[in-house]
């Protein structure tokens, strides 16, 4: 087993609930749709003015209205297959029925499980804040391609990348065509290399990750916190959509949350 495959499997096994390594099946459209008559999402959707309101925070990037009714934090790893599944299943729905109308703001915070997480996080954070969401989704949506290249790389090359220093980060990005993805969006190679070689930014990312793990008790990815509280047993879109439905259900229809909130 290659070092990167072993490392990824070990990290994925730290969920509070057992999750298979296989790609999760697509969730039926009805299961993804938050807009039903039993919740506040059932109302006619307002304009999507907040879907591209993006600000940089101390530990990540926040998408949505400044004073949104609910604050959701996504703790994701760019090498986590379940995180990529979540992004593909949830992003569009959250944009349209939650973030855009201003009901929910979503803050994305990276979890660094391995050296490739750090490389991709540096690339996602490279460039202007307004385009963060595009870079974030680009790397998650294309994960199958570049992660497989990493798994298939010679073990000697993987060991060199695992050093995690600036030269190793540049080498990994080049070999896996991670830098090309930004270059194709119009970013210069010089700027990309500067971001990858930025040790201060790398250290800040690692420090933020350590702080989040301590504050929110993160043991696996994806993990979510709603209004400052870590959500228990909530590691995919079907589970999170249930929590959000309950959060926005009219008061007269609300039920007990079955202990899903932790913290």
Residue 44: the pLDDT is 57
Mind listing the pLDDT tens digit for each residue in 159-209? 999 999 999 999 999 999 999 999 999 999 999 999 999 999 999 999 999
pLDDT higher than 60, residue 33: no
* Chain-centroid distance, C-alpha 117: 11
What percent of the chain clears pLDDT 90, i.e. is strictly above it? 75
For residue 38, name the pLDDT band (cuts at 50, 70, 90): very low
Before 222, cis peptide (omega within 30)? Answer: yes
**pLDDT in the model for residue 41:** 52
Q: Is 263 part of any domain?
A: no
User: Structure pTM?
Assistant: 0.82
More confident call, 12 vs 101: 101
pLDDT at position 252, please?
55
Residue 51 lies in a domain: yes
DSSP string over 65-119: -TT-SEEEEEEE-TT-HHHHHHHHHHHHHHIIIIITTTSEEEEEEE---SHHHHH
Q: 69: domain range?
A: 3-253
With cut-offs at 50, 70 and 90, classify the pLDDT of residue 55: very high
Q: Band of the pLDDT at 19, cuts 50, 70, 90? A: very low
Residue 48 domain flag:
yes
- Determine the Cα–Cα distance for residues 189 and 187; give it in Å rounded to an integer: 7
Q: In this structure, is residue 261 part of a structural domain?
A: no
- Whether 6 shows a pLDDT value over 90: the answer reads no
State the CB neighbour count (10 A cutoff) for residue 33.
14
C-alpha to C-alpha distance for 121 and 109, rounded to whole angstroms = 10
Provide the mean pLDDT of the chain: 84
Q: 259 falls in which pLDDT band (50, 70, 90)?
A: very low
User: pLDDT tens digits, residue range 200-234?
Assistant: 999 999 999 999 999 999 999 999 999 999 999 99
Q: How many domains does the chain have?
A: 1
Can you list the positions of beta strands (E) in the chain?
Answer: 54-56, 61-63, 70-76, 104-110, 223-226, 229-230
Q: Residue 5's pLDDT is what?
A: 52
Nearest to 59 by CA among 104, 125, 11: 125
Which CATH number goes with the domain that contains 43? Answer: 3.40.30.10
Q: Would 139 be classed as within a structural domain?
A: yes
Q: Is residue 113 part of a domain?
A: yes
Query: Is there a domain that residue 184 lies in?
Result: yes
Give per-residue pLDDT as tens, 78-130.
Answer: 999 999 999 999 999 999 999 999 999 999 999 999 999 999 999 999 999 99
Is the pLDDT at 138 greater than 50, yes or no? yes
Give residue 263's pLDDT band: very low, low, confident or very high (50, 70, 90): very low
């Amino acid at each position: 087993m290659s070092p990167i495959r072993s490392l990824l499997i070990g990290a994925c096994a730290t969920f509070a609930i057992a999750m298979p390594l296989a790609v999760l099946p697509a969730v039926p459209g009805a299961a993804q749709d938050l807009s039903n008559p039993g919740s506040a999402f059932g109302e006619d959707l307002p304009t999507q003015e907040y879907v591209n309101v993006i600000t940089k925070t101390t530990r990540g990037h926040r998408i949505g209205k400044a004073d949104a009714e609910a604050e959701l934090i996504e703790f994701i790893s760019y090498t986590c297959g379940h995180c990529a599944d979540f992004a593909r299943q949830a992003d569009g729905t959250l944009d349209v029925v939650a973030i855009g109308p201003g009901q929910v703001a979503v803050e994305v915070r990276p979890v660094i499980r391995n050296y490739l997480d750090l490389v991709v996080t540096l690339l996602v954070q490279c460039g202007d804040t307004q385009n963060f969401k595009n870079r974030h989704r680009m790397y998650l949506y294309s994960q199958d391609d570049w992660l497989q290249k990493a798994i298939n790389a010679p073990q000697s090359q993987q060991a060199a990348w695992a050093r995690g220093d600036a030269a190793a980060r540049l080498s990994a990005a080049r070999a896996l065509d991670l830098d090309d993805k930004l270059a194709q969006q119009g970013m210069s190679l010089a700027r990309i290399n500067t971001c990858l070689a930025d040790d201060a930014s790398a250290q800040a990312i690692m420090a933020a990750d350590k702080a989040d793990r301590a504050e929110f008790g993160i043991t696996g990815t994806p993990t979510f916190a709603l209004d400052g509280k870590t959500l228990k047993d909530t590691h995919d879109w079907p589970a999170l959509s249930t929590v959000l439905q309950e959060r926005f259900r009219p008061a007269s229809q609300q039920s007990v949350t079955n202990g899903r909130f932790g913290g």
